[in-house]
Structure 1
């Protein structure tokens, strides 16, 4: 499974959305504007990324400015977990 599909599956799990929703997730999908993740879902995503890839999402997010947080995309997460 490629990273994008794995991330879409993780996002589906933390949001409770269905397979159709996950299939529409692209690298350009922004967590806030497009996927409408809420803070509790971002927290769950952080836990899932740590468990699956050992990534510290809260530390990564702390290093971003407001515009970067608003524009954070699935592609950004893919680079983070692949890097």
Structure 2
């Protein structure tokens, strides 16, 4: 499975959304505006990403300014995994 697909599955799990919702997640999907993630969901996603890939999502997010946080996409997260 590709990274974006795995992230969509993780997002589905932490949000409780259905498969149709997860199928619409693309690399361009913004966590804030498009997916409407709550802070607790972002925290759960961070834990899942750490367990799967060893990624420090909270540390990454701490280095972003407000505009970057608002514009953060699934593709950005996939890039973080690849780095």
Unmatched runs of 5 consecutive residues or more in structure 2: none
TM (norm. structure 2) is: 0.98
- The residue aligned with 2:2 is 2
- The residue aligned with 2:18 is 18
State the shift of 1:6 in Å.
0.5
Aligned residues: CA RMSD: 0.4
- Cα distance per residue 1:42-83 (max 9 Å; x no partner): 010110000001000000000000000000000000000111
- The residue aligned with 2:49 is 49
Moved over 2 A (4+): none
Q: Distance in 2 between matches of 1:59 and 1:68?
A: 14
Q: Distance in 1 between matches of 2:82 and 2:19?
A: 23
What are the residue-to-residue correspondences of 1:61-76 with 2, within 5 Å?
A: 61-76=61-76
- The residue aligned with 1:27 is 27
TM (norm. structure 1) is: 0.98
